[in-house]
Chain A
Amino acid sequence: MGRYIVRRLIWVVFVLLVITFISYMIFFVMPSTDPAVVFAGRQPTPELVAEVRHQFGLDHPWPVQYALFVKRIFLGDQYGWPGLGFSFNTRSELKPIIFSRMWVTIQLAFGAAVVWLLIGIPIGILSALKPRSVFDRMAMGFALFGVSAPVFFLGPLFLYLFWFKLGIAPGSGYYAIGVYGIGPWFSHFIMPWIVLALLYAAFYARMTRANLIETMGQDYIRTARAKGLSERTVVLKHGLRASLTPVVTMFGLDLGGLLGGAFITETVFNLPGIGAYAIKSVGSGDLYAILDITIIAGFFITLMNLVVDVLYAFLDPRVRYT
């Protein structure tokens, strides 16, 4: 298992290098904005553009720029380690911006994950135990709604209804727990968590239901019942464990993807996360910000893949890695 983990970690690094290389190529090869021109003002003389290009490190051939970028990531730059460079937009180092935005995204992603697990899995279990009942039909109706109502629809609807009209929820924005306390922090996060979680909860409810129905029809479940085990033990200890394996896989991928930025939720609820920053950076051609976010998103997705695969081995004793 140890060797397997090490091999996978090396693979993570390789994947990140490929992703950033492709991003660099896209930035320079595809027709796009020239950051040196964009950031030299609205009447950029050739001298101004040249100076901007020099200060932004854009006056080397792009393969050289890429090599310098990789070197700085691993060895650090003038701002420390990791060397995330500086923002063309704000003319300041990217590390504090990226890290503070990552922290917001982590809070959003994990909070939503807790909500969707708390909603989706119990609904899926109860639906599976009472198939074709009224509860089951309502649950699957909820799943259909959750899948069909996207965040860019639900988010503004929630804000309009619960904040603007009814006044029972606070408005948008991020209120750091360390600055404003747990009350404002929680109250400003609860709507984004719910809106983001609804889609995933719907998927998880359906998946849990389908897997559990299949598992509960297995011979070993009938054997467990025949042995006199309580229904609770049969469902929770034997049925659920087997049926949750694919759910765990999905959870890892979903969480990894969210950690790369839930940009719609962040934009709608004005949360200064990494997803919203990605959109802003792409729009303004802020090269190093784009690359840093690409690395972070890629890192979390590949890392979560690894975590899920390792967890798989613990959940399913038939799975072994060498």
Chain B
Amino acid sequence: METLKRSSRVLAVVGVLAIVATACGGGGEEQASPSGPSTKGGTYRTAIEDFGFTNGFDPTGEYLGTAWGLYSDLISRTLVTYKHIEGVPGDEIVPDIAESWETSADGLTWTFHLKSGVMFGPPLDRAVTSKDIAYAFQRINTKSLIAQYGNYYAGVIEGLTGDAKSPSTPISGISTPDDSTIVFTLTKPTGDFLFRAAMPATAPIPEEVGKCFTKAGDYGRFVISSGPYMIDGEDALDTSSCKAMEPLSGFDPDKFMVFVRNPNYDAATDSPDVRSANLDGVVISIDTNTDDIFNKIQSGDLDGSWASLPPKTLEQQYLTNPDLKDNFHINSGDRTWYITMNLLVPPFDDVNVRKAVNFVIDKTALQKAWGGPAHGEIATSVEPPEVLPETADYDPYPSPNHEGDVQAAQDAMKQSKYDSNGDGKCDADVCSDVLLVSRNIPPWTDMNPVLSEDLAKIGINVKIRELETSTAYTTIQTLDNLIPIAANAGWGKDYADPYGFDFFIFNSAGIACSGQVNYSELGMTKDQATECGPKVLAAWNAATDNGKTPLPSVDKKMDECYGLLDEARATCWTELDTSLMEEAVPWVPYLWATVFTVTADSVTHWEFDQFSGALSFAHIAVNNGLDPTSVPVG
């Protein structure tokens, strides 16, 4: 009996030890190199907390970068596109549906010649023609379809005003002499027109399907593919009538998206440099628990993240463990985080104060608040390096280790009208209790004390208001709030040309009474101020001495750069960036943010798509051998 009891105890101890060993042990699988040769087949399984689509995935208005990656990498070919790789080469335009193009000498006429053999997916089973591309532009032109970046085309292409009542209304500036030719007539030479022709809203849309969807967002669950993949269920779409059409089974905006191969895709019409199309499919599930997403990657239930930020503890694990470093990818996000100053509101109506702020801010401390250099490079000018490489090293407000130069800041402050005793600190009442809008989540909650302390060194005492993210944006977007200074905002590129980055945030066209993005009110006119009410007009009058000294503006310089090409264009925008930073000084840029992606060992080839700012579905490869339709979507 005693022996039996002892044996039982030994067994129990062994059992517990076994459980503990299982709990503590790691996986034993061999790790595939993510930069190794691409394997064909398999399914990339990922998850995200919320798709966050801005227009229900309807390409005419969809303005989300990660959605653009789904279109451009997977289902929507455009006249021209990108290689869907990282860095500056990933932002270069290459042919896609168009095999060639030419521009008239005056820059007003662009003629594109389409490849043959580019097909829509089933059930359409027909070739993409120039009329399908024209129809996509007609949808951009239709008011009810709310083309959220229609400004890139309205007023640029003749006859495209954004006011059309119906997508069947032709546009006078777009002609299709035959099925494989499309001609654009512009109102003015537009140097970045090719970038605009690569945007997903311009991808071909078959009118026989598109005509059924005349409100913004409606087409999003019926998108017909022209790319190597399609949304699962597209082949089952009943196109016999509008009423007969049911949303594609592979897309539930609340739960999942499943992409499968488009059987009509001909790789001979594409280039492996542009789309390797290694995967058999992509499955994206909604998972509201961020920690759970990354746990599933580590357990192998998912192959990688997509647009979720890993928890700090996990980030540290990946950054410090040499066995995991190949699974953690850091790429430039083509986004600038900045502090914006309102030129209408004292003390920031004085350029010397704005310069002083640029000098005094400890950008290294802000970078630390974000989590250190892994989270981004310290920004010294407006444009992210991939957007305007010429200004990557431009730093008009240098300081040792980017920790701020208090002396230089105070020297600048001495030049301002708000330092009456010349001690380098603001001594006017307007420098007390200055409202600074920020966010109520990390890293802003860690940044805010740094900002407060730094600004105090030049006599500006801020009252920080921490707001929820979208409330913070709405607050600074509402002009008559007259927010003096804000640290909540960031700005990412639409495409890798400075126009796409700069226009609305620095041009006076970006000023509006609500929903504005030119938070500094750069170039604001009296008419604009009057439109937004007496409070704004009074501020404008005070800031401009009743119109005698207009607000700094870059509108003219932007017009000058607009139609230029190549090196002349880069030089012009470099000059504009310099003017912004040294003469207008609306911002303190402090971080060029990075993007993190975590992958599992099943990923055999990793690539980043610089255009969309996320992993490149066009080139990534996995070795799980899964069929996308067999992956449970929960």
Contact = CB atoms under 8 A, between A and B. Distances in A.
A34 B514 CA distance: 9
Nearest to B150: A48
B625 to A, nearest CB: 21
Interface string B223-267: 000000000000000000000000100000111000000000000
Contacts of B504: 43
A294 B19 CA distance: 46
B482 to A, nearest CB: 15
Contacts of B162: 47
Majority DSSP secondary structure for residues of B touching A: loop
A46 B24 CA distance: 58
Contact of B288 (A31, A41, A266): A266
A180 B630 CA distance: 12
B146 A172 contact: no
Given A55-B144, A270-B288, A41 B63 contact: yes
Interface string B490-515: 00000000000000100000101111
Interface stretch (B124-132, B165-173, B211-219): B211-219
B18 to A, nearest CB: 11
Contacts of B146: 40-41, 48, 51-52, 55
Given A34-B474, A272-B254, A164 B56 contact: no
Contact of B470 (A89, A156, A266, A283): A283
Contact of B289 (A45, A97, A270): A270
Contacts of B632: 173, 175, 180, 184
Given A42-B517, A92-B221, A165 B216 contact: no
Say which size band chain B's interface belongs to.
Answer: 35 or more
A37 B22 contact: no
Contact of A91 (B23, B216, B475): B216
Contact of A45 (B151, B215, B295): B151
A270 B634 contact: yes
B530 interface: no
Contacts of A165: 22-24
Contacts of A97: 254
Interface stretch (B47-55, B450-458, B557-565): B47-55
B295 to A, nearest CB: 5
Interface in A74-98: 89-92, 97
Contacts of A23: none
B148 A91 contact: no
Interface in B272-287: 285-287
A275 B247 CA distance: 25
Contacts of B470: 33, 38, 283-285
A113 interface: no
Contacts of A46: 512-513, 515
Contacts of A49: 514-515
Nearest to A46: B512
Contact of A37 (B61, B216, B254, B474): B474
A246 interface: no
B395 interface: no
A46 B301 CA distance: 45
Q: How large is the interface on A (under 10, 10 to 19, 20 to 34, 35 or more residues)?
A: 35 or more
Given A31-B475, A51-B143, A166-B22, A43 B291 contact: no
Contacts of B218: 91
Interface string A18-33: 0000000000000111
Interface in B507-560: 510, 512-515, 517
Nearest to B162: A47
Interface string A231-253: 00000000000000000000000
A272 B289 contact: no
A79 to B, nearest CB: 13
B478 to A, nearest CB: 8
B21 to A, nearest CB: 11
Given A40-B146, A45-B512, A171-B301, A32 B151 contact: no
B149 interface: yes
B516 to A, nearest CB: 9
Contacts of A173: 285, 287, 632, 634
A36 to B, nearest CB: 8
B159 interface: no
Interface string A51-70: 11001000000000000000
Given A49-B515, A55-B144, A91 B58 contact: yes
Question: Max chain B CB contacts within 10 Å: which of A40, A43, A89, A156?
Answer: A43
Contact of B474 (A33, A43, A184): A33
A172 B287 contact: yes
Contact of A48 (B50, B148, B247, B468): B148
Contacts of B247: 92
A32 B517 contact: no
Given A41-B54, A166-B19, A172-B287, A159 B292 contact: yes
B283 to A, nearest CB: 13
Interface string A104-123: 00000000000000000000
A294 B602 CA distance: 43
Interface in B143-167: 143-144, 146, 148-151, 162
B113 interface: no
A267 B510 CA distance: 38
9 contacts: A31-B474, A41-B149, A47-B162, A165-B22, A165-B24, A171-B301, A180-B632, A270-B289, A270-B634
Given A39-B54, A175-B632, A272-B286, 13 more contacts: A37-B515, A43-B148, A44-B512, A44-B515, A51-B216, A91-B217, A161-B23, A164-B295, A172-B289, A173-B285, A173-B634, A272-B254, A280-B288
The list of the 10 closest CB pairs from A to B, nearest first, reads A91-B217, A41-B148, A173-B634, A91-B56, A90-B253, A44-B515, A37-B515, A165-B23, A41-B63, A33-B470
